Amino acid sequence: MTENPFGHHISKQFDTELEDMRNRVLTMGGLVEQQIAQALQALIQGDSALAEQVIERDREVNTLEVAIDEGCTQILARRQPAAGDLRLVVAVIKTITDLERIGDQAEKVARMGLRLAEQERPKTQLMEIQHLGERVQRMLHHTLDAFARLDPEAAFEVTQEDEKIDYLYEGILRQVVTFMMEDPRAIRRSLDVIWAVRALERIGDHAKNICEYVIYLVKGKDVRHIGPEQVKQAVLGER
């Protein structure tokens, strides 16, 4: 674990504001985690009431995004942060955008759960979807941990998980396509399954983005759009 490079200011009030901002991001992250867990449960168990609840609660995610964003702009205007503090605020502005979009994906999974609950559900892929969903949840949880501890090494480890998620996703996709070809009457239903697993896969991409912001904010290096070896070097290189 990397030592927290922030939070040592002459102004105690500024420390509190930055700490508060980070805590709100984690609150938003916790809510989004819960949204995914419940959306997945609604999808797997065909629980329409739970699906409706997830769709309804997406508003709370949106409200948090707007509030944290506003707080960040206020900190930029009033505190004029420099160096690490500035990177923290910029990273938060980007992180909450990805968290909000993860929330949208959870809502999509819930919507597909709702549609599938009305149909004869394709029992064959449920176990695989559950498995993919659990991996995605774990990846997001590790992402939020890395953010909470401002740990770029942990963040780098998490980015590696995205590949496994893509692999699981591709596997389910192939199965569903085979299933569709065998039974064309199942095409509409199968497409709903495809939208749900694609939403789960997209969550992995957003989690990866957040990990890249964590590396940026601690290391000061932008590691987007570069290969894993270069990211590793950026994270571990200074030892």
**134 or 226, CB closer to a copy of itself?**
226
Q: Please, which residue, 11 or 80, has the CB nearer to a copy of itself?
A: 80
- The residue (of 31 and 76) whose beta carbon lies closer to a copy of itself is 76
Least separation in angstroms between CB 220 and a copy of itself = 10
Phi-psi category of residue 120: left, alpha or beta, with phi > 0 → left and psi -120 to 50 → alpha: beta
**CA atoms of 91 and 76, how far apart (whole Å):** 13
CB of 62 to a copy of itself, least distance (A): 4
SS3 202: helix
Amino acid at 94: K
Nearer to a copy of itself, 51 or 64 (CB): 64
Q: How far apart are CA 233 and CA 239, in angstroms?
A: 10
Shortest Å distance, C-beta 234 to a copy of itself: 13
**Closer residue to a copy of itself (CB): 87 or 137:** 87
* Closer to a copy of itself by Cβ: residue 126 or 191: 191
Q: Work out how close the CB of 180 gets to a copy of itself at its nearest, in angstroms, rounded to a whole number.
A: 5
8 Å CB contact between 150 and 6: yes
| Closest distance to a copy of itself from the beta carbon of 103 (Å) | 11
Whole-number Å distance between alpha carbons of 67 and 220? 26
Say if residues 42 and 196 touch (Cβ distance below 8 Å).
no
Cβ atoms < 10 Å from Cβ of 220: 12
Report the nearest approach of a copy of itself to the CB of residue 171 (Å).
15
Q: Angle between the 83-117 and 126-148 helix axes, to the nearest 10 degrees?
A: 160
CB 65 within 8 A of CB 102: no
What is the binding site for a copy of itself (CB under 8 A)? Answer: 59, 62-63, 65-66, 69-70, 72-73, 76-77, 80, 82-83, 86-87, 90, 93-94, 97, 177, 180-181, 184-185, 187-188, 191, 194, 222, 224-225
